[in-house]
């Protein structure tokens, strides 16, 4: 599968300008910070689901332990998804900006169908859905926590695919 896709790198005879290096660095920093925010939100979502299940079973240890309330965990998930989504959007936009450079003729056609970019767009769509769900009062809590976990699984798939593809 990986042999069918050309690498998403520049040819050796097309060095990056200072602006392009800065844009690439900004892209990497935004993507990394976004992934950290989304991972923190997913961890809080997992804690929310565990705490919810324990409270539903009326587990005395959970009731006595205290810790963060379900509402506090829900707020934290919401904030992390907002921040991570914004950073992921900036990272994808910066990557697309690099793909649209006129001196890279034909690059965008490769990126449109490249598995890494398709998974990144899918991840963005899952988090866009999570933001819509979080905004609705009826769909807070378990559904929002589950979507944040599903989104971080997609992020992990994108990272794994990026590591496994040659020339990346």
CA 138 to centroid of chain Cα atoms: 24
Mean pLDDT of the chain: 76
Q: Where are the alpha helices (DSSP H) in the chain?
A: 18-56, 60-65, 70-99, 107-113, 115-135, 142-164
Instruction: Choose among 21, 3, 34, 53: nearest CA to 158.
Output: 34
Q: What is the pTM of this model?
A: 0.73
Residue range 134-161: average pLDDT? 75
pLDDT for position 29: 92
8 Å CB contact between 125 and 147: no
pLDDT for position 40: 92
8 Å CB contact between 23 and 97: yes
d(CA 144, CA 142): 6
pLDDT for position 62: 66
Residue-wise pLDDT for 87-117, tens only, equals 989 998 887 777 666 665 555 556 666 677 7
d(CA 38, CA 94): 19
- Whether the predicted pLDDT of 31 surpasses 90: no
Q: Which residue has the higher pLDDT, 125 or 109?
A: 125
Q: Which residue has the higher pLDDT, 29 or 142?
A: 29
């Amino acid at each position: 599968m990986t042999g069918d896709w050309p690498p998403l790198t520049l040819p050796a005879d097309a060095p990056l300008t200072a602006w392009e290096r800065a844009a690439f660095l900004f892209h990497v920093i935004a993507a990394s910070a976004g992934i950290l925010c989304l991972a923190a939100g997913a961890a809080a979502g997992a804690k929310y689901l565990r705490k919810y299940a324990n409270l539903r079973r009326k587990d005395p240890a959970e009731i006595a332990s205290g810790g963060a309330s379900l509402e506090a965990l829900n707020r934290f998930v919401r904030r992390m998804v907002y921040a991570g989504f914004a950073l992921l959007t900036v990272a994808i936009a910066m990557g697309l900006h690099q793909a649209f450079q006129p001196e890279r003729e034909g690059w965008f056609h490769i990126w449109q169908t490249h598995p890494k970019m398709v998974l990144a767009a899918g991840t963005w769509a899952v988090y866009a859905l999570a933001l819509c769900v979080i905004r609705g009062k009826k769909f807070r809590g378990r559904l929002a926590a589950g979507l944040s976990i599903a989104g971080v699984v997609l992020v992990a798939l994108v990272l794994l695919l990026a590591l496994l593809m040659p020339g990346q």
